A = this chain, B = another copy of it.
Amino acid sequence: MKQKNKRGFASDNNPAVHPKILQAIIDASHGHTIAYGDDIYTHQAIRKIEEHFGENIAVYFVFNGTAANVLGLKALTNSFNSIICAETAHINVDECGAPERFTGCKLLSVPTSNGKLTIEKIKYHMHGFDFEHHSQPKVISITQATELGTVYTPDEIKAITDYAHKYDMFVHVDGARICNAAASLNLSLKEITTDVGIDILSFGGTKNGMMFGEAIIFFDKKLSENFKYIRKQGMQLASKMRFIAVQFIAMLQNELWLENACHANKMAKLLADEVAKIPQIKITQKVETNGIFAIIPKKCIEPLQNEFFFYIWDENKSEVRWMTSYDTIEEDIFDFVKLLKKRLK
């Protein structure tokens, strides 16, 4: 029987708020602060983000990741544009068509084995320019780390941004797990974003220990010119903005973002290492961040889920997904692996 609030491997959306972030919220909750973001907390949070990404950026907070992606893409496109992405991209499969609905654009997806786009794959959709019958490609959207837990190297991103800019296109990064990617690469946030030419980033906080709130970062301020209206009309302007802002401040102070991400990645590595020892199980993707994808015998899925909840990724292949998070502890891993072995007998 499932225990209330028991830690599992279902999703990095399931954990509570990190204690330091919760404390920041508590500390900010007194007295009156001007609503809608014209307050010192928000200004501080933006400055903090500038410290990590460089100064020539524009930063806007929204409530969640879908909004960060969709409103960011809206800022880069006209409705007659198309957006190229991996078939597995969150914007393509997990946002209920919000990108199409809100931007009016066509999404052009490409199958990949590991969730990563390459120039070769992108090229499939690079045609019809200037031809009014076709949606005009304008954005390449990549996810870092990908929905399959894999990571783009800075060089791989640079290749894509160079290619995009040559065609007067933009590169959007869905960074719901950008912290995990940076931790995995042992690089700063700036080195895998600003320095490799991306145009806009959905900077995720919720999966790394926040309660709610994401930041949209424009690496060219001009692109954000109208964004305050897009955000408001997009129903994403928070009245009590300070409570998003202070979470980002806490996250970016004393490298909490990195600590959380490193820990989650490390736990995934540990789980992968333990699981690799079990011959009946086949890990299907490189474990570069905090997700493990594995094919396991069908019969043991449900019993396992009843004790440690997780999701099936591909029913046909009997492939499951296990996510670790900032609050996973070693004991969870060992308990789970023990259980796994027991169920496999």
Are B13 and A232 touching (Cβ within 8 A)?
no
A218 contacts B by Cβ under 8 Å = no
A190 contacts partner chain B, Cβ-Cβ < 8 Å: no
Chain A contact residues: over half helix, strand or loop, or mixed? loop
Contact partner of A7 among B8, B31, B100, CB < 8 A? B31
Contact partner of A32 (CB less than 8 A), chosen from B10, B133, B239, is B10
A242, closest chain B residue (CB) = B16
Give the residues in chain B near A232, CB-CB below 8 Å. 66, 80, 95-96, 98, 132-133
Scan residues 1-38 of chain A and give those whose CB is less than 8 A from a CB of chain B.
Answer: 4-8, 10-11, 13-17, 22, 25-26, 28-36
A236 touching B238 by the CB < 8 A rule? no
Which of A139-147, A223-231, A251-259 is found at the contact surface with chain B?
Answer: A223-231
The verdict on A78 contacting B229 (CB below 8 Å), with A15-B32, A105-B100, A237-B66 known, is yes
Q: Which of B5, B29, B96 contacts A80 (CB 8 A)?
A: B96
How far does the alpha carbon of A228 sit from the alpha carbon of B107 in the complex, in Å? 20
Report the minimum CB–CB distance from A345 to chain B (whole Å): 27
Q: How far is the CB of A175 from chain B (nearest CB, A)?
A: 15
CB-CB contacts below 8 Å: A208-242 with B? 211-212, 226, 228-240
Give the chain B neighbours of A102 by CB distance below 8 A. 235
Nearest B residue to A239, CB-CB: B13
A100 with B98: in contact, given A93-B134, A226-B80 (CB under 8 Å)? no
Are B235 and A134 neighbours in the complex by a CB distance under 8 Å? no
**How far does the alpha carbon of A98 sit from the alpha carbon of B132 in the complex, in Å?**
11
Residue from the list B16, B80, B81, B97 in contact with A79, Cβ < 8 A = B97
Which A positions have Cβ atoms within 8 angstroms of B?
4-8, 10-11, 13-17, 22, 25-26, 28-36, 40, 63-67, 70-71, 78-82, 93-98, 100-102, 104-107, 128, 132-136, 206, 211-212, 226, 228-240, 243, 309, 327
Show 22 residue pairs from A and B whose CB-CB distance is below 8 angstroms, ordered by the A residue: A5-B32, A8-B32, A10-B32, A11-B35, A13-B35, A15-B31, A16-B30, A63-B235, A64-B235, A64-B238, A66-B232, A70-B235, A71-B235, A78-B226, A80-B232, A94-B134, A96-B229, A97-B105, A98-B234, A106-B107, A212-B240, A235-B235
